Amino acid sequence: MVRAGTHSIADIRMLKRKIEVQACEDLSNLMHPMALWKNNSAALVVCRMMDDVDWDCFIDFYDKDQSEVGKRVKFQKRICEFSLATMYPFSLRCCLKGKLSRWFPEDQCESFSFKAIDILNTIKNTAPCIVFAVVSMWCNGWCTDGRFQGDTIKCLVCSECDGRDKLEHYADCMYAWDAGKKCTGITDMSEDLVTLLGFNSKDFGECVLLSVYAYALKRHIDSRRAMACAAPKSNVYRNVWSGFQVAAIYSRRVRTILGQRLF
C-alpha cells in the first residue's frame, strides 16, 4: 500500500481492488487453522484499516494535485502517515519515557518525558546537530565505551580525569562541567545527569544553552575518540567552546543568546 504511492493512480486503484478480493472475510470454507491465519493476515488488517478511512478522499486528493512528482510524494506521505499511525501507533513521549527508565524511577520518567517534549519544542528551530545530540543523549545513543558495555576506555574529556568513557560519567565529570559552566555562563547549576539531560533548565535561554552544551560536549568527546586520546586539561574549555561557536554558525537563536560573548 505504501509502495503504491510511488506508482500511478491506476496502480493504486488496482491495489485497492486486489486487497478487497484477498481480504474477503468469508472464512466458512476454510479449515480452522487456515481461517485463523487468514483472520490475522496483513490483507485483512489493511482492508479493515481502509474501512475506517474515506478512500475517495485519497483519490480526490491525488487527482487534484498538479505536479506529477508532487502528487506521488504527497500521496505517499499521506498514506505513510495514515498507515503508520494505524498499524504502528507511536508516541514520542512514551518512547522517551521508556528510554529514560534506564536511569530514573517511573514517576520521574513520566515528568521528564513531558519536559523532554518541551525541550524539543524549544530547540527544534536551532540546528539539527543540536537536536540530534540531545535526542541521542536521552536515548543513551552517544558512541561511548559504556554504551557498548565496555569499561576499559578512560574519560575522553580530559587526560587528568580517572572516570570512564560513558554518559553517566560525563554527567558527573568535573572537567566537563568546568568547561560547561564557563561556556554557558550558568555557574550555579548542579553537576549531575538530570542537569546534563536538560531537565533542570529553568527558562528558554537555559534550555537552549544546555542543549548546545550537550552538542559541544559530544563533539569534543567524538573528536578525542577519533584521536584515541583524551584532551590535555588546558584544551578542554577551548574545544568545548569551539562547539558553541559551530552551533552559533548554524543557529541564529544560539547567536542571539550568546551575543557579545561570541566575539
Q: Which of 155, 214, 231, 247 binds Zn ion (CB under 5 A)?
A: 155
Choose one: 45-53, 118-126, 153-161, 245-253; the region binding Zn ion (CB under 5 A). 153-161
209 sits near Zn ion (criterion: CB under 5 A) = no
Choose one: 112-120, 156-164, 202-210, 221-229; the region binding Zn ion (CB under 5 A). 156-164
| Inter-residue contact 145 to 237 (CB < 8 Å) | no
96 sits near Zn ion (criterion: CB under 5 A) = no
Spatial distance between the Cα atoms of 204 and 207, rounded to a whole number of angstroms: 5
CB of 162 to Zn ion, least distance (A): 8
Phi, psi of 154 (to 5 degrees): -80, 165
189 sits near Zn ion (criterion: CB under 5 A) = no
Q: In the 8-state DSSP scheme, what is residue 126? A: S
196 sits near Zn ion (criterion: CB under 5 A) = no
Short-list 102, 123, 145, CA closest to 206: 123
Q: In the 8-state DSSP scheme, what is residue 164? A: B
221 sits near Zn ion (criterion: CB under 5 A) = no
Q: Which of 50, 173, 210, 240 binds Zn ion (CB under 5 A)?
A: 173
CA 63 distance to own-chain centroid: 34
CB of 170 to Zn ion, least distance (A): 7
Q: Which of 5, 163, 198, 243 binds Zn ion (CB under 5 A)?
A: 163
CB of 118 to Zn ion, least distance (A): 29
Question: Per the structure block, which three cell numbers stand in for 219?
Answer: 563533539
Q: Is the dihedral of CA 249, 254, 255, 260 positive or negative?
A: negative
Question: Counting beta carbons within 10 angstroms of the beta carbon of residue 38, is it exposed (0 to 12), middle (13 to 18) or buried (19 or more)?
Answer: middle
Task: CB nearer to Zn ion: give 47 or 236.
Answer: 236
231 sits near Zn ion (criterion: CB under 5 A) = no
Q: How big is the site for Zn ion, counted in residues (CB under 5 A)?
A: 5
Spatial distance between the Cα atoms of 111 and 227, rounded to a whole number of angstroms: 39
230 sits near Zn ion (criterion: CB under 5 A) = no
Angle at 66 between CA 62 and CA 68, to 5 degrees: 75
Short-list 88, 84, 85, 64, CA closest to 74: 64
Choose one: 126-134, 145-153, 154-162, 197-205; the region binding Zn ion (CB under 5 A). 154-162
Q: Which of 127, 133, 161, 247 binds Zn ion (CB under 5 A)?
A: 161
CB of 158 to Zn ion, least distance (A): 6
Question: Per the structure block, which three cell numbers stand in for 231?
Answer: 584532551
Interface contacts to Zn ion, rule CB under 5 A: 155, 157, 161, 163, 173
